[in-house]
Amino acid sequence: MPEVTLVEAVNLALARAMEEDANVVVLGEDVGVNGGVFRATVGLQQRFGAERVIDTPLAELLISGLCVGMAAQGLKPVGEIQFMGFIYPCIDQLVNHASRLRNRTQGRLSCPMVLRTPHGGGIRAPEHHSESTEAMLAHIPGLRVVMPSSPERAYGLLLAAIRDPDPVVFLEPTRIYRASKGQIEDNGEALPLDVAFVLRQGRDVTLISWGAAVKETLAAADELAAEGIDAEVIDLATLKPYDEETVLASVTRTGRCVIVHEAARTGGFGAEIAALLAERGLTSLVAPIARVTGYDTIMPLPRLEQRYIPSVARIVAATRKVCQFS
């Protein structure tokens, strides 16, 4: 099996989906001739033609609106938004149309569209290129929000998102696009949506993360293991709807929880998980829940970017504190 990066895995999944289903259409700014700003769609227009890989104007509202219209008429559009900071014009279409279409038509129509966009910081990009506002999207009823943390999960989850009959926002962590490689058999096999992945089993504390932050979380677990702290690591993967039962089962075993995400702390998705544990897992907890997050500021580019993103040291320190509590 070939080893590929996460962005190459996205390309493989798109090509596989387009090969298997003529209704799958890719559209966005520079996705065709140039192959996308991060090269996620390179080669697709040459392979499938300009009618299925469509270069659009610089208009995110147009891209999302086209996706809704195409989906309502039987196509399976995959729209690309170049950076997450440009997704805000799409909110109108996502809130008022894509997420409501099945309900509005009493099941007569659905909206099988995917909106892909790079997520988060770590590449020293300008403002609007380092956003991590997944909690805002997860708040929209009727919308799935998915974020892979490895090439293998990017391939399988993107295929599942494209095949899903309802709208999915697929967030691709920019700083791990090319950070590592994974072995992928390009066999078209999807991974399940709405299911968290237990990447490492442990008995002392549960570490929960998603997207690029999973990398630092796993590294922190290795460092903690050297100190005798056995951490379980969960990659949430699908944020809406997320796998509550896996989270609860893990914290029931360990009694402690640290939640790690790059997004700003206030209103971040980690607060939703903490609320779940307070409501349904309180009697299992032997220590307060800790959150290791970004700060309540705009990403401080470029010099303080790495200070903003949760580091291994910050995760280790928070976990030590949780494990010392009695």
- Name the residues annotated as catalytic: 129
- CA dist 109 and 147 (Å) reads 26
Phi/psi zone of residue 6: left (φ > 0), alpha (ψ -120 to 50 degrees), beta?
alpha
**Residue entry with tokens 């470029």:** 302
Based on its alpha-carbon atoms, the radius of gyration of the chain, rounded to whole angstroms, reads: 19
CB distance 293 to 310 below 8 Å: yes
List strands edge to edge, sheet with 24-28. Answer: 53-55, 24-28, 76-80, 114-119, 168-173, 144-146, 238-240
Q: How many residues make up the chain in this entry?
A: 326
Which among 31, 45, 241 has a CA at the least distance from the CA of 137? Answer: 241
CB distance 293 to 264 below 8 Å: yes
